[in-house]
Chains A and B, each alone.
Chain A
Amino acid sequence: MNANSHHFRQLQTVLFRELKQLYKQQLNQELSQITCRVFEKSLVILLEGTITQPERILAEHQNTNLVKKVRESLDRIIQPQIKNIVENVMPFKVVDILSDTTIENNCTGAIVIFELENYSENVAKLNKTQRQKLGADDGVTPALDPSINKA
């Protein structure tokens, strides 16, 4: 494992922790698994166990339209918060975020699109806390690593 992939794993650990905290704080929901994968200009995140107890009850009682509406609204509320987390944790500006949930499978998927033009500048601009979070203080730039990770 090289230094860059090591930094990337550190970065993923922070990302997973923040995402778990977000669902816990906002919806009192414990995520069962998080998977992520980074590509050239995007980050794909899969969150399992996102459906809350009230939504499950609504779905069980055939309130299909209402549960869909609730989930769409929750996704729209959570989406900018995921964007903030990703931007705080990773040295990229997010230009777009797309997310969807299937109630039956209890799974949410998100694709985060990065602006990569100012990558080096962004890394240089990271404040001390962010650099410490990423373990980037030894001057090694966190890099994109194609490995998959689960939490």
Chain B
Amino acid sequence: MKPVKPTRGQLERQLSQSIQAFYREQLGHQPSKVTCQLFDTKIAIILEDSVTPTEQILNKEGQRELAQQVRSSLDEATRPPLKKLIEEVIGTKILDLLCDATVDTGRTGIIAILADTPDTRPSEKLSKVEPGA
């Protein structure tokens, strides 16, 4: 029996959960919210509260530059395993992975450029039945 392809929404949700778990495992800090938007051959990912307490305290105590530097280095270090994880979840190669974070807002933004459009099936929307129809 052929495995059922996920819908775009299911794939986005699965990716969000995997990314949330990835950051918990890698940095010991779980972002409060991860949003994934798949469009054509691209994925836009937004992570809320992605900055660790270490960076937060540095930033709060006037070491903003250092906090931002730590964040850039963490993004650089987590980039290869994150790329691998996204590729595994969506089943498509990534050509480019762009990543940036702001320590002030704790937000991280990631854009993945894919080699192909992920294989998904159309979502089954319930059709509206008019009363009396």
- A residues near B (Cβ < 8 Å) are 37, 39, 42, 44, 46, 72, 95-96, 98-102, 105, 107-111, 113, 146, 148
Complex alpha-carbon distance, A46 and B39, angstroms = 13
Do residues B96 and A111 form an inter-chain contact, with CB atoms below 8 A? no
Residues of A within 8 A of B105 (CB): 95-96
Do residues B39 and A108 form an inter-chain contact, with CB atoms below 8 A? no
Residues of B within 8 A of A146 (CB): 39
Residues of A within 8 A of B96 (CB): 102, 105, 107
Question: A111 and B39 in contact (CB under 8 A), knowing A44-B111, A100-B98?
Answer: no
In the complex, B113 has a CB within 8 A of chain A: yes
In the complex, B101 has a CB within 8 A of chain A: yes
Residues of B contacting A: mostly: strand
Question: A39 and B42 in contact (CB under 8 A), knowing A98-B108, A109-B98?
Answer: no
Do residues B42 and A44 form an inter-chain contact, with CB atoms below 8 A? yes
Q: How large is the interface on B (under 10, 10 to 19, 20 to 34, 35 or more residues)?
A: 20 to 34
Question: A100 and B99 in contact (CB under 8 A), knowing A44-B111, A95-B105, A113-B107?
Answer: yes
In the complex, B18 has a CB within 8 A of chain A: no
Complex alpha-carbon distance, A44 and B39, angstroms = 11
Residues of B within 8 A of A107 (CB): 96, 98, 113
B 93-113 contacts with A by CB, 8 A: 95-102, 105, 107-109, 111, 113
Shortest C-beta distance, B45 to chain A (Å), equals 9
Do residues A39 and B98 form an inter-chain contact, with CB atoms below 8 A? no
Complex alpha-carbon distance, A101 and B39, angstroms = 20
Complex alpha-carbon distance, A100 and B113, angstroms = 13
B 45-82 contacts with A by CB, 8 A: 46, 72
